[in-house]
Structure 1
Amino acid sequence: MKTWKKIVAAAGAAGLALGLAACGGGDSAGGDTKLIVGASPDPHAKILRYVADNLAEKQGIELEVKEYTDYVQPNEALNSGDLDANYYQTVPYFDDQTAKNNWQFDHGKGIHLEPLGIYSEKLKDIKDLKDGAKIGIINDPTNQARALNLLADNGLIKLPKDEKQQKVSVIAKSKEYNPRGFELPEVEGPQLVRALADVDIAVINGNFAQLGGKEPSDALILESTENNPSLNILVWKKDSEKVEAIKKLDSLLHSPEVKAFIEKTWPNKAVLPGF
């Protein structure tokens, strides 16, 4: 009888162990919490893989990086549960998309910046820009606002107080906001470097500048990380069961090791640590 009780007890223990394993389905066999994180290939995925190879294991995290080449799928995959987090977007983009789609997401502090630059093939100093000059501006709404801010920060235009009016279509026609009478043609992001032949200057995102053969050192003016809302962030669902592990990952992304990795990997300042 005692032997039978022992067998039953052993079976019950085994069943309990299986039940606990099933409940922890998101964990790897080694006991680490597995996180699947969506990211743009460069620099986001590179930074995450550095963390995966050098820092994550010590924090009990198994990190799988899934690459995306567009800006729509990573948030949709996060919302559907296919991802535990994503790392590819800026705060203004996050605010816009979560409001439009009613996504219940949360995010950490800024990690890095891919700085916008003001580039030219005709000028060597922004002081040489003449009234009525042509300034190429990206036609994407989120990045356009960022480009207009860079121009305003450098005294080339003024911005309406109403953020809804901070558009090229409003500013270009206004003597109040565009007192120097600049032409502001809107251009597809990937075409901005090519458009430099037809404009006096253009405000170009770092990734598009590099694709067109430009380096940050070529810019007349480069965007600063200080108080910049366009720093890239780690994003996750508010009700995620893995929020503790995700916040550990966010902490690793703000570590001295990651800062040193960014500075070493992109010495040309195409990517800047934002912390």
Structure 2
Amino acid sequence: MKRIITLVIAALLILTACGGNDKKVTVGVASNDTKAWEKVKELAKKDGIDVEIKQFSDYNVPNKALSDGDIDMNAFQHFAFLNEYKKAHKDAKISAASTTVLAPLGIYSKKVKDVKDIKEGSKVVIPNDVSNQARALKLLDKAGLIKLKDNAGLNASTKDIADNTKDLKIKAVDAQQTARSLDDVDFAVVNNGVASKAGLNPKKDPIFLEKVSSDEVKPYINLIAINDKDKDNKTYKKIIKLYHSKEAQEALKEDTKDGEKAVNLSQKEIKEIEKSLEK
């Protein structure tokens, strides 16, 4: 009997040593930088952390999944999007733990090769969520296709268009549908990750691309979100550190065709952006 007990204990010790104790972290993503997270998963395994990558096709789901505890962190949104989500869901206790990339928004078309060639009455689709719709309208303004009101902010909608001289037929659709609409419209404003998923090159294919060097784009820096109660979680901090590792960043560059700019802001800089959006 003693021998059997000894063997059982030995077996349990072997299982523990082989990873039976591994910590598990589920990360929700809804973009095309999967290879970076796959590299994080590979690196984390060496530290006894099992990373599960959960893909979402709807931008409206990952934050709820995080709040509900279905996932431990997510990496799909920018500051402006998270800010709007928290305004709509007062009970959501989630915030940015780190930043990831700045993914430029682009204007894509299968009909024209230059924004100057866009004709009067052209049909265009833009994302329909509040933050990305405002961002898309600002891009159309920058491209000289419309003129927004001077006070149009991060919540701008088509009602804030002061001048639409080309009489563009603007339709807002789910962000994931914008690239798929290119066969049916004259042009579309498409998020970087959505464009890549659709087989487009987010660096070469846009006929007009958002500039990433101005302060105006800071609200659109993407982030890793966690529940506020987990802000001091050492395992999550380790995952974030691995995301910013050289190996993961090289995978990101390959996966996004170098169409995204890696961003690693300090906590002070993150708080400054969050505070600016609360105004």
Same fold (TM over 0.5): yes
Deviation of 1:105 (Å):
1.6
The residue aligned with 2:14 is none
The residue aligned with 2:257 is 267
Per-residue CA deviations over 1:20-72 (Å, capped at 9, x if unaligned) read xxxxxxxx755x6x242332264354322211212x356x5614224142334
Of 92, 95, 105, which residue of structure 2 is paired with 1:106? 95
The residue aligned with 2:81 is 93
**Cα 1:256–1:194 shift into 2, 3 Å:** closer
1:124 partner SS: coil
**Are 1:258 and 2:248 matched, yes or no?**
yes
In 1, are the aligned partners of 2:124 and 2:168 still within 8 Å (CA)?
yes
In 2, are the aligned partners of 1:35 and 1:85 still within 8 Å (CA)?
no
The 2-side partners of 1:114 and 1:164 are apart by 17
Deviation of 1:225 (Å):
3.9
2:224 partner SS: strand
TM-score for the superposition, normalised by structure 2 = 0.70
**Cα 1:35–1:106 shift into 2, 3 Å:** farther
The 1-side partners of 2:136 and 2:115 are apart by 15
2:170 partner SS: coil
The amino acid of 1:47's aligned partner reads A
The amino acid of 1:78's aligned partner reads L
- Over aligned residues, Cα RMSD in angstroms? 3.1
In 1, are the aligned partners of 2:135 and 2:154 still within 8 Å (CA)?
no
The residue aligned with 1:147 is 136
The residue aligned with 1:62 is 49
The residue aligned with 2:187 is 201
The residue aligned with 1:43 is 32
The 1-side partners of 2:113 and 2:119 are apart by 13
> In the TM superposition, what are the counterparts of 1:130-145 in structure 2 within 5 Å?
130-145=119-134
The amino acid of 2:146's aligned partner reads I
The 2-side partners of 1:240 and 1:188 are apart by 31
- Structure 2: gaps (5+ residues): 1-18, 265-279
The residue aligned with 1:123 is 112
In 2, are the aligned partners of 1:49 and 1:65 still within 8 Å (CA)?
no
**Cα 1:128–1:77 shift into 2, 3 Å:** closer
User: How high is the sequence identity, in percent, across the aligned residues?
Assistant: 31
The residue aligned with 2:7 is none
In 2, are the aligned partners of 1:87 and 1:234 still within 8 Å (CA)?
yes
TM-score for the superposition, normalised by structure 1 = 0.71
The residue aligned with 2:208 is 221
- Structure 1: gaps (5+ residues): 1-27
2:238 partner SS: helix
Deviation of 1:234 (Å):
1.0
The residue aligned with 2:168 is 182
2:85 partner SS: helix
The 2-side partners of 1:256 and 1:153 are apart by 34
In 1, are the aligned partners of 2:179 and 2:198 still within 8 Å (CA)?
yes
* 96-105 vs 128-137, which moves further: 128-137
In 2, are the aligned partners of 1:262 and 1:272 still within 8 Å (CA)?
no
In 1, are the aligned partners of 2:27 and 2:54 still within 8 Å (CA)?
yes
The 1-side partners of 2:103 and 2:229 are apart by 30
Per-residue CA deviations over 1:172-198 (Å, capped at 9, x if unaligned) read xx33xx355433233444543454355
In 1, are the aligned partners of 2:80 and 2:154 still within 8 Å (CA)?
no
